[in-house]
Structure 1
Amino acid sequence: MKRGFVAAVAAAALAAGIATGSGGLAAAGQARTTWDGIYTEEQAARGEPLYQEWCASCHAPDMSGGDLAPGLVGGEFVWNWSGITVGQLFERLRISMPQENPSSVTRAQKADILAFMLYVNEFPAGEHELADRTNMLEQIMFEAIQP
């Protein structure tokens, strides 16, 4: 009985690692963060032209912000989102950006844009692409300071 329970727990942990795209298992109790390489360089590269097309008119080509839109680079942006999940940030992008027509940009494109934002804010790239599903991104904490 105990052996079956342990096997079930191990299988669930493995499935969670695969579902989050981690490619491995985190240490017990250790949440993934923005410092764990949660996007790829290729994904960020795809996100740059999408950002310029869909976001730069309000947030500025260099992400510094505009009259009505906040900056998306630097300390103010990073500290504003620190301590919440990447899923919450993605959901904000998903439901409200671009402001004039949020459904004009697909989930995959928004994940690419978010990867570009992480790249510009100097979070490291990794081996797996950032997911385009909020529930998967809820497992990743946005942390301003590298642990």
Structure 2
Amino acid sequence: MSKLQTPPRRGGERYVFLLVLAVVSVAARPAQQLTVWDGVYNAEQAKRGGEVYLAECSNCHGRDLEGADMTPALTGGAFLANWDGLSVGDLFERIRVSMPANSPGTLSRQRNVDVLAYMLAFNQFPAGKEELPREIQVLKQILFKASR
């Protein structure tokens, strides 16, 4: 029998089919969503945020983020429950457009995101290696999850 008359091998087709099936099943899985438990800010950023917080936020929200009469706490059960299931971007936008209360929107995006990093650190979410970015599209993809 010559090469032209050799029947095709079925093993190669089966291999290609299984390979395509594996690639499709991996691609079809949703990507693991990043959460506040994944170290989305770093310690240096939280430190800078703490300095901004003390200068710009502590008069109303307290030195320990405990809140006051008409000012909500930025730590503790009620705070965590209010933001649970929303995105870090949602919290960032709230801060960006409404704080500080006496002159909303006056802090730079960097200062706002640094304060947010400080709030995450204060609430004992773990730090990572990279800074929390100030781009809203990226922040919207990070889930604020009150517990693991």
Instruction: Please list every run of 5 or more consecutive structure 1 residues that lacks an aligned counterpart in the other structure.
Output: 1-12, 14-26
What is the TM-score of this pair, normalised by structure 2?
0.78
The letter for the 1-side match of 2:38 is: D
* Corresponding position of 2:19: none
Q: Does 1:103 align with 2:105?
A: yes
* Corresponding position of 2:53: 51
* Corresponding position of 2:130: 128
* Corresponding position of 1:143: 145
Distance 1:32 1:112 in 2: 19
Distance 1:100 1:134 in 2: 24
Larger Rg: 2
* Corresponding position of 1:16: none
Q: Does 1:69 align with 2:76?
A: no
Deviation (angstroms), 1:103: 2.9
Correspondence list, 1:27-46, <5 A = 28-46=30-48
* Corresponding position of 2:121: 119
Instruction: Please list every run of 5 or more consecutive structure 2 residues that lacks an aligned counterpart in the other structure.
Output: 1-26
Distance 2:113 2:146 in 1: 19
Deviation (angstroms), 1:28: 4.1
The letter for the 2-side match of 1:63 is: L
What is the TM-score of this pair, normalised by structure 1?
0.79
Q: CA-to-partner distance for each residue in 1:11-55, whole Å, 9 max, x for gaps? A: xx9xxxxxxxxxxxxx84310000000000000000111001111
